[in-house]
Amino acid sequence: MNIAILSRLPHLYSTRRLVEAAQQRGHSVKVVDTLRCYMNITSKNPEVHYGGKKLDHIDAVIPRIGASITFYGTAVVRQFEMMGVFTLNESVAISRSRDKLRSLQLLARKGIGMPITGFSRSPDDVRDLIKIASGAPLVIKLIEGTQGIGVVLAETTKAAESVIEAFMGLKANIMVQEYIKEASGEDIRCFVIGDRVVAAMKRKAKEGEFRSNLHRGGSAELIKITAEERKTAVKAANAMGLNVAGVDILRSSRGPLVVEVNSSPGLEGIEKATGEDIASMIIEFIEKNQHSMKTKTKGKG
């Protein structure tokens, strides 16, 4: 196969590993800088161009779209879909996963467990909003934040009110969430490919921190997950329409709660923590599905 990896950073661990795995399995692979792709939008012959040439004869695309370039990145992925090229994750699924509120609404529709979450626009409703999210302590999140940035724990109602009002004053979209104490600074990252959790790791926040993101100094280790956690993770990825996803789960007294579904999950943390060759599993998934599935949405958005 000819595989194109959409990535801004060819030297990044995840990109390097995917290139390696594709080559090892006998494929030809090219790393393409997403922001340097340009396209002609026509009804007959949609094309993607790169460095003065048409990108053609591509059998599959692996999108690794960073949060900061979601808008342009999903447009490039959509263009490939319009050309009938198989994309590992489709543009519409990537867009869904980037909006925390939309993601939670989709998960809720499928009956998947999640922390109680409130959302409002007006500072006048702050008090009631806090009540909805079961009162302080509670977590306030920027809707489009990543890597733990924009996730705040407010210990008291007063603190929560101030933070919410400050965010609203800055016209930031936020949601307010029940704080899951029992998780005690830990979450579980489940790496889903297709209908399977292929690896899982426990991430633990550093001392004095409640966010377990590795970017916030958290540490990772191998963990055995329960059948219920496995089922929840796969269901969450399916609800978003993602073939490959990193599903983050908190262990609570009422079972697994999904906090986030990531559409470009990093490989470094999970491969190092579990010793699994996830990159090869991704390539294998593409080999198996590239023909039969083609693209589901054909760029419908």
| Residues of the shown chain interacting with ligand ADP in the complex, contacts defined by CB under 6 A | 115, 139, 141, 145-149, 151, 177-180, 183, 187, 210-213, 248, 250, 259-260
Considering only CA atoms, which of 239, 261, 264, 238 is closest in space to residue 248? 261
Q: How far is the CB of 212 from ligand ADP (least distance, A)?
A: 4
The CA distance from 222 to 224, in Å, is: 7
Which C-beta is closer to ligand ADP: that of 47 or that of 144? 144
The CA distance from 217 to 230, in Å, is: 26
Return phi, psi of residue 219, to 5°.
Answer: -120, 160
The CA distance from 295 to 301, in Å, is: 12
- Scanning 154-162, 223-231, 257-265, 288-296 for contacts with Mg ion by CB under 5 A, the matching segment is 257-265
Which C-beta is closer to Mg ion: that of 22 or that of 65? 65
- 274: Cβ–Cβ under 8 A, 6 or more apart, which residues? 199, 200, 201, 222
Which C-beta is closer to Mg ion: that of 55 or that of 188? 188
Q: How far is the CB of 46 from ligand ADP (least distance, A)?
A: 32
Q: How far is the CB of 45 from ligand ADP (least distance, A)?
A: 38
131: left (phi over 0), alpha (psi -120 to 50) or beta: alpha
For the beta carbon of residue 27, count every other beta carbon within 10 angstroms. Answer: 17
Q: How far is the CB of 146 from ligand ADP (least distance, A)?
A: 5
Q: How far is the CB of 219 from Mg ion (least distance, A)?
A: 15
Q: Is 123 helix (H, G, I), strand (E, B) or coil?
A: helix
**260 belongs to the binding site for Mg ion (CB under 5 A):** yes
Q: How far is the CB of 131 from Mg ion (least distance, A)?
A: 26
Is residue 191 within 8 Å of 225, Cβ to Cβ?
no
Which C-beta is closer to ligand ADP: that of 8 or that of 251? 251
Is residue 282 within 8 Å of 18, Cβ to Cβ?
yes
Residue 297 near which of ligand ADP, Mg ion, none (CB within 5-8 Å, type-dependent):
none
Which residue's beta carbon is nearest to the bound Mg ion?
260
Contact positions with Mg ion (CB under 5 A) in 63-102: none
Binding site for Mg ion (CB under 5 A): 260
